[in-house]
Structure 1
Amino acid sequence: MDGRDFLVAVSARRKRLGLTVERDGTLTLRTPVRCDVARAEDFLRQSRAWIDSKLSQRDQHRPAHPVRAFRDGETFRYLGREYRLLLVNEDTAPVRLAAGRLRMDEAVAAEPARARRDLIAWYRKAGLRWSRGRLQPWAARMEVPEPAVTVRDVGNRWGTYRPAEGDTGTMALHWAVFQLPTHLVDYVIAHELAHIKVSGHGSDYWTLLKRAIPECEARKEELDDLGRRLWMGQIVGRN
């Protein structure tokens, strides 16, 4: 519509139509199972001003993701702190955090594609260990069951929640999230936990999230700003 393409996501849990502008500018229309085309088109027509506003905001805050090289002194963030890379020749894990330095095996660093893969694997492992300790308190605060959690690449989102029949479902967090300060990682966790009760991002959703994090709007703005400047895996000589 209006020269724009919309990805349509159909959910049996959803009762109302919703729209999401992803980090890459993709527009996702979220619909209930039984939603005719005319209703969807009318919803999009009524949402034109909102779409224009969100895309304009995105244009003003375009991604500026850094490119990294695997050399001594290069900096990488973990939970809001910067750590300098130290290339070592040790019979240990390919990547580990020790004595205030992010240590990487020299043989690994000599192969950028492998170094990228091993560093992302470290973020996934460290992030999963950290998030498991935070999940239960937030689930208790929001009065929702604690879901299973994974850390992986979830594309253009910071996190997702997928319900499942007969259990609590699964939350997936993007590995890059764990470069953020802890209060923003907590925001992402709470954001996904809220979807256990409410699908979509309507007024009921934000009311629930605001009860858990009264300053959630400020945290969202901070996430939008810092998120566009996170390292997303770009390395020298590779997109």
Structure 2
Amino acid sequence: MTDAARHSIVFGGEEFAFLIERTTRRKTVAISVGFDGVRVLAPSDLDDDSVLGIVRRKGPWLLRKQAMYRELGGQPIAKEFVSGETFHYLGCQYRLKLIPDETAVMTRIIAKGSNLVAPVLPNTHKSIQRAAVRSGLKQWYRTHAAQHFPARARMIANTLGIPTPTLKVVDQSKRWGSCDARGCIRLNWRLVMAPMPLIDYVVAHEACHILEHNHSRRFWRSLETIMPDFEDRLRRLDRMGHHFTW
């Protein structure tokens, strides 16, 4: 049995509204954050004050998670992976075109003009076909991301006057890029769908973290020095990002 009551807290100047959903099946409190907000699952015998205290203690974590989802620009676009759907690559629109092919053991995407052609086995169940096309598109994008991203990293590293960083193309659904303490930059393969100026913004942002491992004034000055319009690029990425996060 599950019941729910609406609550909210303010932490770090931001308000988090959520439902406390109670169930007899839980022994501890579980908190999740997604594009649709914060969800709190609690044992049915735990009082509101105790649950709210746990949520408040998770305030810094909630802020970080919410920032990650905000970075991606909103709810992902639902895709059916059928002929006629629009997909983006380097800011340009392409139409998906499924082609029946008896020899298509795997769906390997081919770009032809303004189309992304997906050979698929005929007479297969729609759910299996969709999964095959999605997998093929993901591999196609990852391959092209690995072709484009290193050159952008070299260019921006030269501008900053630092060695070219190690770069990895990764599958991270909640952020566009990251930079670890060793200076390794990880970029979300989905970023290759964006126009090149927006790709350069993310690369520059992460490259500047090699110099400054925080968001201090020195960090923002470094970014502004090599990319005076970075704020405009960030706003554009915020507006467009949800188109790239299927």
TM-score where L is the length of structure 1: 0.67
Aligned equivalent of 1:231:
244
Q: 1:212 to 1:77 in 2, by over 3 A?
A: same
Match of 1:82 among 93, 107, 112: 93
Change (3 A) 1:143 1:191: same
Residue type of the partner of 1:114? A
Q: How does 1:1-239 map to 2 (within 5 A)?
A: 63-89=74-100, 94-107=108-121, 110-164=128-182, 169-227=183-241, 229-233=242-246
Q: CA RMSD in A?
A: 3.2
Give 1:230's aligned amino acid.
H
Q: Tell whether the 8 Å contact from 2:90 to 2:193 is kept in structure 1 after alignment.
A: yes
- The alignment-based identity, stated in percent, is 29
Distance 1:3 1:171, change over 3 A: same
Distance in 2, Cα, partners of 1:159 & 1:66 = 20
User: 1:23 Cα deviation (Å)?
Assistant: 8.6
Q: Give the count of matched residue pairs.
A: 184
Q: Bigger relative contact order, structure 1 or 2, given CA contacts below 8 A and separation 6+?
A: 1
The superposition leaves residues 48-71 of structure 1 with CA deviations (integer Å, 9 ceiling, x where unpaired) of: 9xx7xx98xx6xx97142111122
Q: Distance in 1 between matches of 2:219 and 2:117?
A: 41
Q: Could you say what secondary structure the match of 1:141 adopts?
A: helix
Say which one has the larger Rg. Answer: 2
Residues 156/62 of structure 1: CA separation in 2 closer, same or farther (3 Å cut): closer
Q: Report the alpha carbon displacement of residue 78 of structure 1 after superposing the two structures with TM.
A: 0.5
Deviation of the 1:89 alpha carbon: 4.3
Measure, in 1, the Cα distance between the counterparts of 2:34 and 2:178: 14
SS of residue paired to 2:164: coil
- Give ranges in structure 2 of 5+ residues lacking alignment: 1-8, 13-32, 39-59
Q: Give the secondary structure class of the aligned counterpart of 1:68.
A: coil
**Unmatched 5+ residue regions in structure 1?**
6-21, 27-47, 234-239
- Secondary structure of the 1:214 match is coil
Counterpart code for 2:170 = R
Cα pair 1:23 1:156 within 8 Å, conserved: no
CA contact (8 A) 1:176 1:230 kept: no
Distance 1:106 1:114 in 2: 8
Amino acid at match of 1:122: W
TM-score normalised per structure 2: 0.65
Q: 1:181 to 1:154 in 2, by over 3 A?
A: same
Distance 2:173 2:73 in 1: 17
